[in-house]
Amino acid sequence: MAVLVEATAVIIRAAAVEQRISGGWEALGDTLPEQGVCSDDELVSISLFDPAEVRLLVERLLAVGLRFDWEGDFEDIAFADQKRGLITPCDWLTFETVYIGIGGTPPSVAICRLDGSHSHELRVPDGWRYQGSLSEAFGAEGSGPAVSP
């Protein structure tokens, strides 16, 4: 599967939620903002606009048990920018820009998927629509396979 990337996305490995957070998904949900969150069976994506919000979210995620180091240990958490791609190099995450139109046609959006995953299903935040989204505003240019939102 794949998750939507808009603005700056904080990406979390889903397996780490169950392995490291006492209280699992419920405890994680208590740390996340109300909007801009989507997940599949492999990743959680939280889209944020303000770098200060990104830092605060990461600090909350560390406090509940996820592993991350600003100096380069991206074991559970990574970052992607919808225009520039992966901000943090990590071997478990792939960034792509894909077409979401009928039959694999434009428009396109930025996504992340767990490395090695080939599912063509896209998860987006509740209530998200392409019309009026940051993806539409920034006009991402598709270069990869089609996915189904």
- Give burial (CB, 10 Å; 0-12/13-18/19+) of 148: exposed
Say what the pTM is: 0.88
Structure tokens at 125: 């935040």
Q: How many domains does the chain have?
A: 1
Residue 46 lies in a domain: yes
Per-residue pLDDT of the chain (149 residues; tens, 9 = 90+): 899 999 999 999 999 999 999 999 999 999 999 999 999 989 999 999 999 999 999 999 999 999 988 777 789 999 999 999 999 888 999 999 999 988 878 899 999 999 998 777 899 999 999 999 999 998 655 445 555 55
Residue 145 lies in a domain: no
User: Angle formed by the axes of helices 24-31 and 51-63, to 10°?
Assistant: 150
Residue 146 lies in a domain: no
Residue 144 lies in a domain: no
Structure tokens at 108: 């396109």
Residue 147 lies in a domain: no
Can you give the residue range of the structural domain that contains 118? 2-138
Residue 104 lies in a domain: yes
Residue 77 lies in a domain: yes
Residue 149 lies in a domain: no
Rounded to 5 degrees, φ, ψ at 132 are: 85, 0
